[in-house]
Structure 1
Amino acid sequence: MYKHSFEKLEVWQDSIDLVEVVYKISESFPVEERFGLTNQMRRCSVSIASNLAEGTSRITQKDKSHFSTMAFSSTMELLNQVIISKRLNFIDDEAYKKLRAHLLMISNKINALRNAQLKK
């Protein structure tokens, strides 16, 4: 089966793994958060992967790096939401540390991708 260029990106693959983690962790959030923090975190995690994918379809390096920047911004937004979730006791220490480590890895890879795009 043919794979698009974004599917070959390690950072995109990692971001898809993150989506799964966020969906599983947020299942345990209070029901009243379904349209609040749960929805925001899920949409944000999907946005990281989506921006990485969309960026690969752009022609200029400037456009590509723009979507990498958007993916990075969504990563920081999700980190903020993870911190809030921890402070509200929606997630335990283990889930918090796992998510932070995953987000750090992805943010570093996005930065490396963006830097490479800007150098071309």
Structure 2
Amino acid sequence: MIEMTLVIFLLVALMSTGLFFSGKIGEWKSGREASETLRGVYSAQRLFLADNPTTTVSSLTEALLLPYLPDRPATFPTITSLTNATLSVRVTVSPPTINNGSGGSYDPSGNTKDSLWDVGE
């Protein structure tokens, strides 16, 4: 009887641990996808500025950078937050950041150089 209880407890504990880590892995994947998007925008910024050296970063717009993005998408990319909100990329700063909707930067990882939700180093 006790052995069966221990086995059931162990199975429930292992399942709970697996579910917890699968959620964290999903958050990590979302952060990496956001970083890839930001790196593409950062690359587009540098390419555009190389072609237009008198343009300032603060005057950049999504429309100006769109032809310089990798794979030439039809629309400018957006980023999905951990709460499934659609966020835009702030292109008027270099490196670009994710706009949290109220003027600040969105980076739930808490580190601006870890390549999760940011361009990294």
Normalised TM-score (structure 2): 0.34
More helix by percentage: 1
Computing the radius of gyration from Cα coordinates, the structure with the larger value is 2
- Higher relative contact order structure (alpha carbons within 8 Å, sequence separation ≥ 6): 1
Normalised TM-score (structure 1): 0.34
More strand by percentage: 2
